[in-house]
Structure 1
Amino acid sequence: MLRETFKICFAHVKRHDVALTTIRLMAGHSKWTNIKHLKAEKDGCKAVLFAKISRQIRLAIQEGNSVDPALNSTLRSVIDKAVKQNVPFVTIQNVLNSFQNNKLQFTKHRLGIQYKKKVFVICIINTNNFPGFKMDATAMIRKSGGIFVDVRHIFEDFGWIKAHYAELFLFANRQTFEEKVFEDAVEFGAEDVQIVDYRSGTVNFICDPSYLIAISKRLQSSGYCVEKSEHIFYAHDLVKLTSDQHDSYKVFLKKLQILPGVENIYDNVKQ
């Protein structure tokens, strides 16, 4: 059975991307104090972003078995994303060079956390030392009021691939393009598909998460440019926090986001 409409599923997703951490001006006694605080915040966010991009590049190289973006479409997508986020090319090149001399394998892991009874969190980690990560994270999580739990009954998941067809001019009209997209979705094993923007040929494919990489590769070999693919988690029921609870949770969330190896965070908190 096909998923519920993509819009409904995705509307429930609450993802806290480390790279999108909001920078807020901290109070101080002078303009210079504020500037120093703001610069420290920006530098901290930049360091977290660069570390995250480095891990994603390493993982893309492992998955694609190549350090050449021309031969590794997953790596090419990560590099394009890094450039759009103003990561210096020299930083990207240094990561590529270091991977050739460093054979440590990065793997993705998932941690379930319950925070102060009402909030449930899924934390996606990309690391070469998961036991070490968990040991370092445990003290902070417990001190903040959280515990590790199985949250699978709280969340549902699906694979999401955002792509656009590179040669849209081959299709006479929207109808012929739609027919092509739906035929490809069926052939490649996607469970649902949505045309986001016909003018740019942008399409969302929904699939079983275990088929994300395989379907992405088939799309790329069939004329699509994959912009993003992600294993999405969304909560069945959202909880509303009081102002004080929300402020407390934001502090905990920020501590999670800066842990080395954290990629994405999903929760059941209502916006």
Structure 2
Amino acid sequence: MLRNVLNICCAHIKHPNVNLTTRRLMAGHSKWANIKHLKAEKDEYKAVLFAKILRQIRLAIQEGDSVDPALNSMLRSEIDKAVKQNVPFDTIQNTLRRFQNNKMQFTKHRLGIQYKKNVFVICIINTNNFSGFKMDATAMIKKSGGIFVDVTHIFEDFGWIRARLAEVVLYPKSQTFEEKVFEDAIEFGAEDVKVVDCSSRTVNFKCDPTYLTALCKRLQINGYTVEKSEHIFYAHDPVKLTSELHDAYQVFLKKLQILPGVENIYDNVKE
């Protein structure tokens, strides 16, 4: 054993530069590989994010029935969000031109998934080719340990809208902003309302999910800018995952998130 150690030491003394250079090269190679890997992940995330933002612009055009941001507050809000996320302005303009005369309609779909034993997922998809999406998604989901199931009994659902009342909207001085908002909520058919910020006149409305689109339009007609609307699913009994299952689920979740058309994912996993 001692002889072997001495031989190894002598080899390093005879050829010190060879091993040192090799180690440096290997360390550099490892660092370069890590940089490439991180850049690839970042580029993939950016591509998925941009695709989702552009889909939201397309949906805003469809729901607001106009490619003019001045006439479509939902579109104006989505364009503002796109700019904040550093989507190139040329890309936004090309998207508006492409959809101006395009009659292709996106439709919203919902998929229920059971992952492993006790994780239940609702996946919201916006696409013009749902059968194609499901065909592409099925192989990945099954390979990861998931199956399609009905999970509606696991969740409570409701419509949620964040809106901002324009400053030009006047109401009696005897009426406070909160009173104005509550009165509007009752009149427009919302189930609940919460003032987020009085200074910016930002409000959250809650409604029956089937009334979500209609309430958005009602708010816009009456001086509100809809900044975001969502059909939300909230798990009745969230579950805590083991460390091993949590890590495996995060890998599955990432694969699900990058599927073209996926907008939102809800699950029963406790944070």
**1:169–1:127: structure 2 CA closer, same or farther, 3 Å change rule?**
closer
Match of 2:208 in 1: 208
Alignment of 1:24-173 (within 5 A): 30-167=30-167
- Secondary structure, aligned partner of 2:153: coil
TM-score (norm 1): 0.85
- Secondary structure, aligned partner of 2:239: coil
Q: CA deviation at 1:31?
A: 3.1
- Secondary structure, aligned partner of 2:176: helix
- Secondary structure, aligned partner of 2:213: helix
Instruction: Return the alpha-carbon distance in structure 2 between the equivalents of residues 129 and 169 of structure 1.
Output: 41
What are the Cα deviations for residues 44-66 of structure 1, in whole angstroms up to 9, with x where unaligned?
A: 11111111122222222222222
Q: CA deviation at 1:175?
A: 6.5
Instruction: Return the alpha-carbon distance in structure 1 between the equivalents of residues 143 and 259 of structure 2.
Output: 15
What are the Cα deviations for residues 122-142 of structure 1, in whole angstroms up to 9, with x where unaligned?
A: 000011100010011001101
Q: CA deviation at 1:265?
A: 0.3
**1:51–1:252: structure 2 CA closer, same or farther, 3 Å change rule?**
same
Q: CA deviation at 1:221?
A: 2.2
Q: CA deviation at 1:172?
A: 8.6
**1:211–1:50: structure 2 CA closer, same or farther, 3 Å change rule?**
same
**If each structure's helix is expressed as a fraction of its own residues, which one has the higher value?**
2
Contact 2:74 2:227 survives alignment (8 Å): no
Larger CA deviation: 104-113 vs 223-232: 223-232
Q: Is 2:181 the counterpart of 1:184?
A: no
Q: Any stretches of 5+ residues in structure 2 without a counterpart?
A: 1-27
Q: Larger Rg: 1 or 2?
A: 2
Match of 2:219 in 1: 219
Instruction: Return the alpha-carbon distance in structure 2 between the equivalents of residues 209 and 244 of structure 1.
Output: 35
- Secondary structure, aligned partner of 2:112: strand
Instruction: Flag as ranges the 4+ runs of structure 1 deviating above 4 A.
Output: 168-175
- Secondary structure, aligned partner of 2:265: strand
Larger CA deviation: 236-245 vs 37-46: 37-46
Q: Is 2:194 the counterpart of 1:194?
A: yes
- Secondary structure, aligned partner of 1:153: helix
Amino acid at match of 2:93: Q
Instruction: Return the alpha-carbon distance in structure 2 between the equivalents of residues 171 and 104 of structure 1.
Output: 41
Instruction: Return the alpha-carbon distance in structure 1 between the equivalents of residues 185 and 263 of structure 2.
Output: 28
TM-score (norm 2): 0.85
